[in-house]
Structure 1
C-alpha cells in the first residue's frame, strides 16, 4: 500500500530512552515465497502460527492509511507499532478499536490527522498507548469533548500513557489506571489542577506534563507514595503555585528533574540537596535567587551530568572548592548575577561537552580546558581577558564557540582552522588585533562568522572555498583595508554580509548581486568610491547600507529595478521571519539603522524590515521615481548627498514606509501632497534643501516637528511657526520670493491692473529716492539697498505683466 521514502523516517528515536534509532525499509525485505513469520518486524504465536506482533517503526513508509487495509485482518494482534512513518492526511481508523487483544499500540510521529476515534477506548487490555503528532508546531490530532475521560475510564490496565501534541483541552479525570508507571502528556493543552492522586501512584516512574501553561500543580506537603519509584519528573512550562516543598527531599530515586520556565521563586530550594542520585537538573528561566554557593557547597551530586540554572537571579562567585562533579557533561549558569573568576575545577572537568557562563560579570583569564570533547562553549558578555586558550583551538567536536563582548586580546591564531566541526564562531566586540587568518574561508562547516568590533587590520586575504557553508559573515567595525575579496562570490548560502566601518578602498562590488540568497549587505563607513553601475540581480536583498562612503554619480536606476524582494509587501502575511535565524537561540543578528542622524541597533532583522541607506555620499541627479515600486520599503535614507530635482510623487505607493530622510541635499519644488497618505510614516526629515510651497496637512504630517523642515526657507504651512496663509508670521524675504506663485492660488479676486499701478508708483518713488540720495551724497550701503529693492520690484512687475 505504501511507497518507501527515507524522509518519512528522517529522525527516529526511542521515546522512552531518547536514543536514536536507525531507520530502514523493513517491508522491502519481505519475501512472499517464505513464511511471513520469518519476515523482519513480524512475530507469530509459536503454537498457532498467527501474527501477534507487527513492528514497522522507522520503516520509511509513506502514503495514505485506508480503513480497508489488510492490516485489520490480523485479529490476533497483541502489539502494533507504526511509529515514525508518514501517513500524512490519514485518519486513525475506528477499526483500530477492533483489535480486542491489543496490549501495545504505538502511533507516534506518523502524521495522522483529525480526531482520535472513540473506538480506541474499546481496547480495554491496553498496557501501552502512544500517540505523538505535532507537525510544524500545529496540532493535527485532537480528542473530542469528554473523550479523554472516556479513554482513561475504560483503559484500566494501562501501564504507559504517552500522548504528545494532541489537543486534549480537558482536565485530568480523577478516574484512571492505578497501574501507571509512565504518564506523559506534554503539549496537550491540559487545564485545571493536577489531581493529587497522580503523586500517589505507587508504581509511577516517569511523569511528564511539560508545556501545559493552563495546568496548575500543587505538590503534596508530605511524602508521596511514588517517592520511592519516581525517576523522571518533567514539569517545564507549567503554572506551579508554590515553591519546591520539603516532600521533594524524599525523591531519593529521582534521576531527572525539569522545572524550567515554571515561575519558581525564592532562594535555591534546600530539598534539592537530598537528590543524591540526580543526573539531569533543569531549573532555568525561573526567579530563584540567593548565593550560588548554597547549591554546590558540601553537596554530593556524584552522578550529576547536566545542570542548567541559567536565567535566574543567583549571585556571588562560583565556589572554588567543589569536588565530586567529575561526571558533569553540561553546565549552564548563564544570565545570572555571578562574578569573580571562573574556578579551575570547571576547566578541569574531563567529560565536559557544554559550558555556558555568558551574561554574567566574570573576570580574569580563560584557562586551558582538560576536556577534549567540547561541543558548545559560550562565555559571552563578561569581563574576561587574555588570549584565546590553545586548548579551545584543538577540539575535534566543537560546533559553537562564543566569546563575544569581553576584553579578549591577542591575535586569532591560524590553529582555529583546525576546528573541523565548527558551525558558529562569534568573537564580536573584543580587543583582538592582527590579520584575519587566510584559512578561515576554507572551513567547510562554519555557517556564522562574526569577528566584528575588534581591532583587526590588514587586507581581507581570506579565500572562500566553493564548498563553504557561510550564512553570516560579519567583519565590520575593524581596521581592515584594501578590496572586497572576489572569492566571496563562492558563498552561495550567504544571507548577511557586514563589512561596514572599516577602511576598505574599492569600487562597488557589483558581483555580490549574483549571490542567490543575499538579504543584507552593509558596506557603510568605508572608502568605497566611484559610480554604481550594475545589472546584477540582488533579487533577495532586504537591507542595503552603502552610507558614509565616496560613491558618486547618479543614483543607480538598474539597482532599484532588480530589488525584487523589496517589491513585495508581506506586512499582512501573518508570519514573522528573520534573516539568518537558524541559530537564534544563541546568536542574534544585530543590525545598525540610521534615522534622523542617530544610529539604532536592531537585535534581529525581520525579512519584512526593508531598508535602503545611501546617505553621506556624493550621489547627484534626480531621485528615480522607480523607488515608488519598492512597496515593501520601510526605511529610505538618501540624506547628505547632492541630489536635486523633485521628490517623486510615486513615493505615495510606499504604504509601509516608516522613515524617510532626504535631508541635506539640493531637492527643490513642493512636497507632494500625496505623501500625506503614508500613514506608517513615523520619521520624516526633509531639512536643508530648497523646498517651497505649503507643507501637506493631515494624518502623519500633523505629527512632525519643525526640525523635519528646517533649512527650507521657501516652505510654508504646518508646523505652527510656518502657518500657511498668515503672511504676518512669515519673514519678509519669503513673501517676496513666493508672491508670484501664491497670489493666483490664494487671492483670485485681486485686480492685476491695481497691482501694476502699485508697482509703477513704487518705481517712481524708488527713482526719486535714488535722485535724492545722489544729490545729497547718502551712504553707499543705502545706495546698494535701494538698487537691490528696485531690481526686485522691476523683476516682479515684468513677470506679473507677462502673466496678465
Structure 2
C-alpha cells in the first residue's frame, strides 16, 4: 500500500510540474503582447479582421495569426494576410520590436502610397517575408538584402509602383544565399539578370519586371530549380541550353511567354521528363516541334501559342496526362485525325487551336473527353458538320468554332454550364437551338454571318447574364422581342442584316448598360423609339437600311458617349432645325445619307461636334471606337468614303466621317465645317446645295475624301484647296463651277471624272485649255496678250530673219484676207483683225530688239 502511495505522489508531482511548465511555455511575454497591441491600434479594424481576437486579457500566443516559441514565449510568426489592414505603416511601428520574428506575412492588405520601411532589414531572424499585394509603393529598400537567413521573399505587386534602385537587385541576389523562393512579379527591376543565384533556389518568379539583356544559361542549371516564371519581359532574350540541363530532374513548371526566344525549340527539352507545365507563348519560336518533346509524358499544361511553329498536328496524343493544350496563332496545318484514335485524354479540359491552317472536318468518332470544357478551333479552314460529340460534352463552357466553313445545323447542347458560344462566320443553317436559350450562365452568344432562319424567340430574354448577343447577317425573320430592352446586363445587341420586320417597339429600360445597338439592314418600320435615351452608355446606334419613317431624332443628343450614328437609307424626312440644345459632342461618324431630309444644312449641329474639332495625334497603338474585342465582338461598318462603299471591320477613332448625301438639303455650304479639322470624309453630294465652295475648307488638313457632286454649286474652285495634302478623292462633278482647276499637289492626281458636268471649268485634266502655266485665268486684252504669253518662252530663239519671213508670209496671207473680207463686206471684223495682228507683230519685234 505504501508503495502505491509513493508512486501516486511521484506521478502527481510530475503532472503538476508538467502542467506548470506547459503554462509557462505558452505564456506570452508582456513586451511582445504590448508591441502587438500597439501595432493593432495603428489601423481601423473591421468586423472580419483576425485582429479582433487580440485582447490583453488573453494570452497573445493564442491570438489569431500569432505563433510563439513554446520555450521562450517570443513571437516568432505573424500571419496577417488579408486582415483588412489599411493606413499608416511607418518605421516607428511597434512591429519592428519583435526582433525574434522568423515568419512575417503582411500580404493582401492596403498600405496605399506607403514606402516599404528600411526597418524590415533589422528583423535579422526572418526566414519568410511576404509583402505581396499590399499596395506598397516606391523604392524597395536596400536593407532588405541584409536578411541573409531568408528562405522565402515575396514582394509581388499588382502594378509597377514598386521598383529597385540600380544594382540593388544584384545586391539582393548576392546576399540572400539561403533563398528557396523569390517572387518579385510586377516589380520594376529594369535590369539584366545577374549570374549569382542561391544554389538552394527552387522557385523563381520574375514576371513583368522590365528585365532586359540575355538570361544567363546558369539559371537553367540550378540543380534544385522546380519553377521558373519570366513572363511578360519582351526585352529579355532567352537562349535555351542545347545540352542536358542540370535542373532537368527537378524542373516541373516553366513559364516563358512574351519573352524573346527566337529560334526553334531545342532537342534538350526532351530531358525535362518531370515537366508538368510548359508555356512558351509568344516567344517568336519557329520551325517544327522537335521529336524529343514527345518524351515529356508527364506534361499537363502545354501552351505554344502565338509563335511561328509549323507542321502537322499529329503526335500530341502521346501526352496522356494533358489538361490544357494551346497551339493557337501558329502555322500548323493538316487535319485533326489524331483526335479520333486518342483514348488517353480523359483529363483534357482545354483544347485551343485557333488561327492556324487546319483543314478537313472534325472527326466524328471521338470519345473519352468527357472533362473537356473549352473547345477553340476558330479561324482555320475546317469544314463539314459540327460533330455531335461536341454538343454532347457535359461540362462544356466555351465553344468557339467561328470563321471556318462548317455547314449543317447547330444541334441541341447537353451542357447546362455554357459561358460563351461563338460559331459566327460559317455556313450553318436552321433555327437557333432551344437549349441555347435556357443557359443561366451564358455571357456571350455570337451566331452571326451564317444562314440561320426562323424567328427570335422571346425566351432569349431568359439569358439574364448575357453581355453580347450577335445574331447579325442571317435569315432571321419576324419581330424583335420586346423584352430585349429589359436585359439589364446586355452590352451589345446586333440583329443587323436579317429580315426582321415590324416596328421597334422595344422599351429600353432605365439603368440598362447598352453600348452598341445595331438593327441595320432589316425591314423595320415606324419611328425610332424614344426610350433609347435611357441607354446612357450608348456609343453606337445603327438603324440604317430599313424603312423607318420619322423626323431627325434630335433627342439622341442626350446620349453623352454617342460616337457613331447611322440612319442611312431610310425614309427620314423634314428639316434638321437649328437648336442650341444639340450636343453630340463625341460623334465621330454621322451618316444620314439616302433619306428625305430638307432645309439648310444644320449649322448648330456642326458647332457641337467637339470630337471632330481635334486631329488625333499619331501614337504607337491604334484606338478603336466602341472597341468590344474584349467581349469577342468587333464593330464592323459599311461607310461611303473615297467614292466607295467600304466595310470597316473595326472603326478607328481617327475615322471621322460626315455623310449627308442623297437628301434634299438646300442653301449654302456653311463655312463652320472648316472647324471640324479632324474630318477624313465629307460627303454632301446629291443634294440641292447652292452658293460657293468655302475657301476655308483648306483648313481640313487631314481630309481624305471630299464629295460635293450633283448639287447646284457655283463659282470657282478655291485655289486654297490645293494645300490639302491628304486629299485622295475629290468629286465636284455635275455642278455649275467655272474657272480654272487649281494645279499642284493632290490636284495633279485627280481625273476627268472629278469635274465632269461643269461646263464652265477649264484646265487639266479637262480638255479645255485654261491658259497660263499656273493654271489660273489670264487677263485678256484687246491686243491678244494671252496668246503672246503662251509663246513667250520660245521667243528668245526666234531670229530676226525668222521674224521677217513670218512678217512676209503674214503680209501675203493678210492681203488675201483683205480681198476676201472686202468681197464679203465684213470691214468691221477685218479692221479689228488687222489691228490685233499688226500690234502683235510690232510688239514681238520690239521685244526681240531689246533682248538682243
TM-score band by shorter chain is: 0.7 to 0.9
Q: Which residue of 2 aligns with 1:566?
A: 612
Structure 2 gap ranges (5+) = 1-38, 251-271, 790-819, 830-852
SS of 1:666's equivalent in the other structure is coil
- Note if 1:548 corresponds to 2:594: yes
Q: Which stretches in structure 1 are left out of the alignment for 5+ residues?
A: 7-22, 749-764, 773-785, 787-804
Counterpart position of 2:641: 595
Q: Name the CA shift for 1:73/1:740 in 2 (closer, same or farther; >3 Å).
A: farther
When normalised by structure 1's length, the TM-score is 0.82
- Aligned pairs, number: 733
Kept in 2, the 8 Å contact 1:217–1:240? The answer is: no
Instruction: Indicate if the aligned counterparts of 1:3 and 1:61 stay in contact, CA closer than 8 A.
Output: no
Query: Offset at 1:624?
Result: 1.3
Please say if residues 592 and 660 of structure 2, whose CA atoms lie closer than 8 Å, have aligned partners that are also in contact: yes
Q: Which moved more, 1:492-501 or 1:598-607?
A: 598-607
Tell me the SS of whatever aligns to 2:525: strand
Pair 312,62 (structure 1): closer, same or farther in 2 beyond 3 Å: farther
Alpha-carbon distance in 2 for matches of 1:61, 1:694 = 78
Shift in CA distance, 575/288, structure 1 to aligned 2, threshold 3 Å: closer
Q: How does 1:665-744 map to 2 (within 5 A)?
A: 665-719=711-765, 721=767, 724-726=770-772
Once residues 503 and 783 of structure 2 are traced to their aligned partners in structure 1, the CA distance between those partners, rounded to angstroms, is 58
After superposition, give the CA deviation of every residue in 1:35-73 in whole Å (9 maximum; x if it has no partner): 666665554445444444444444555667655555444
Task: Determine if contact 1:265/1:288 at 8 Å carries over to the other structure.
Answer: yes
Larger CA deviation: 354-363 vs 645-654: 645-654
Residue 215 of structure 1: aligned partner: 237
Out of 348, 351, 358, the position equivalent to 2:392 is: 348
Residue 393 of structure 1 is matched in structure 2 by: 437
Counterpart contact for 2:397–2:420, Cα < 8 Å: yes
Give the 3 Å change call, closer, same or farther, for CA 653–399 of structure 1 in structure 2.
Answer: same
1:609-620 equivalences under 5 Å are 609-620=655-666
Contact 1:260 1:284 in 2 (8 A): yes
Partner SS, residue 204 of structure 2: strand
What's the counterpart of residue 254 of structure 1? 299
| Aligned counterparts, 1:271-282, within 5 A | 272-282=316-326
Change (3 A) 1:667 1:132: farther
Take 1:349 and 1:564, find their aligned partners in 2: how far apart are those partners?
52
Identify if the C-alpha distance between structure 1 residues 702 and 83 changes in structure 2 by more than 3 Å, giving closer, same or farther.
farther
Distance 1:205 1:704, change over 3 A: same
Residues 716 and 722, structure 1, Cα contact 8 Å, conserved in 2: yes
Counterparts of residues 161-560 of structure 1 (less than 5 Å): 161-170=182-191, 172-191=193-212, 198=219, 204-213=225-234, 214-218=236-240, 224-226=248-250, 227=272, 229-240=274-285, 243-268=288-313, 270=315, 272-295=316-339, 297-533=341-577, 534=579, 535-560=581-606
- Cα 1:305–1:635 shift into 2, 3 Å: same
The CA deviation at 1:483 is: 1.3
Q: What is the Cα deviation at residue 546 of structure 1?
A: 0.3
Q: 2:286–2:307: 8 Å Cα contact kept in structure 1?
A: no
Cα distance 1:695–1:256, how it changes in 2: closer, same or farther (>3 A)?
same
**1:747–1:115 Cα change, 3 Å:** farther
**TM-superposition CA deviations, 1:281-320 (whole Å, max 9, x none):** 2222122222211255224111111121211222222111
The residue that corresponds to 2:127 in the other structure is 103
Deviations 1:309-341 (A, max 9, x none): 211222222111111111111111111221111
Name the CA shift for 1:186/1:346 in 2 (closer, same or farther; >3 Å): same
In the alignment, the residues of structure 2 paired with residue 471 and residue 699 of structure 1 have an alpha-carbon distance, to the nearest angstrom, of 42
Correspondent of 1:158 among 179, 188, 193 = 179
Partner of 1:660: 706
Q: Deviations 1:419-459 (Å, cap 9, x if unpaired)?
A: 01100011111111111111111111110011111111121
In 1, Cα distance between the equivalents of 2:782 and 2:546?
48
Change beyond 3 A, Cα 1:769–1:743: closer
CA deviation profile, 1:547-581 (whole Å, cap 9, x unmatched): 11111111112211222222233335776432222
Is contact 1:218-1:242 (8 Å) kept?
no
User: What TM-score do the two structures reach when normalised by structure 2?
Assistant: 0.78
**Structure 2: how far apart are the matches of 1:28 and 1:484?**
59
Q: Is the 8 A contact 1:216 1:238 kept in 2?
A: no
Contact 2:616 2:654 in 1 (8 A): yes
Q: Say whether the 8 Å CA contact 1:640–1:664 is kept in structure 2.
A: yes
Shift of 1:523: 0.3
CA 1:687–1:88 in 2, change beyond 3 Å: closer, same or farther? farther
Per-residue CA distance 1:675-734 (angstroms, 9 max, x = gap): 23333333222222112223333333333333322222222344474554259x99xxx9
Distance across 2 between alignment mates of 1:279 and 1:626: 62
Distance between the aligned counterparts of 1:52 and 1:471, measured in 2?
55
Partner of 2:674, secondary structure, is helix
Partner of 1:646: helix, strand, or coil?
Answer: coil
Secondary structure of 2:598's aligned partner: strand
Query: Given the superposition, is the C-alpha separation of residues 57 and 284 from structure 1 closer, same or farther in structure 2, using an over 3 Å criterion?
Result: farther
Contact 1:243/1:266 (CA < 8 Å) preserved in 2? yes
**Once the 2 structures are TM-superposed, how far is the Cα of residue 622 of structure 1 from its aligned partner?**
0.8
Distance of 2:783 and 2:380 partners within structure 1: 66
Asked if structure 1 preserves the Cα contact closer than 8 Å seen for 2:402 and 2:423, the reply is: yes
Query: Secondary structure of 1:636's match?
Result: strand
Counterpart-to-counterpart distance in 1, 2:327 and 2:738:
64
Q: CA deviation at 1:201?
A: 5.3
Contact 2:130–2:154 under 8 Å retained in 1: yes
Change (3 A) 1:588 1:148: same
Task: Give the stretch that moved more between structures: 455-464 or 522-531.
Answer: 455-464
Q: 1:370 to 1:666 in 2, by over 3 A?
A: same
Q: Corresponding residue for 2:9?
A: none
Larger deviation, residues 317-326 vs 652-661 = 652-661
Shift of 1:461: 1.5
d(CA) in 1 for partners of 2:467 and 2:170? 48
SS at match of 1:335: coil
**How far did 1:597 drift?**
3.3
Report the alpha carbon displacement of residue 665 of structure 1 after superposing the two structures with TM: 0.9
2:650 paired residue number? 604
- 1:622 equivalent among 656, 668, 683: 668
Counterpart of 1:663 in 2: which secondary structure? coil
Name the CA shift for 1:246/1:492 in 2 (closer, same or farther; >3 Å).
same
Match of 1:797 in 2: none
Q: Alignment partner of 1:639: what SS? A: coil
Residue deviations 1:624-657, cap 9 Å, x none? Answer: 1121222222221111111011122332332332
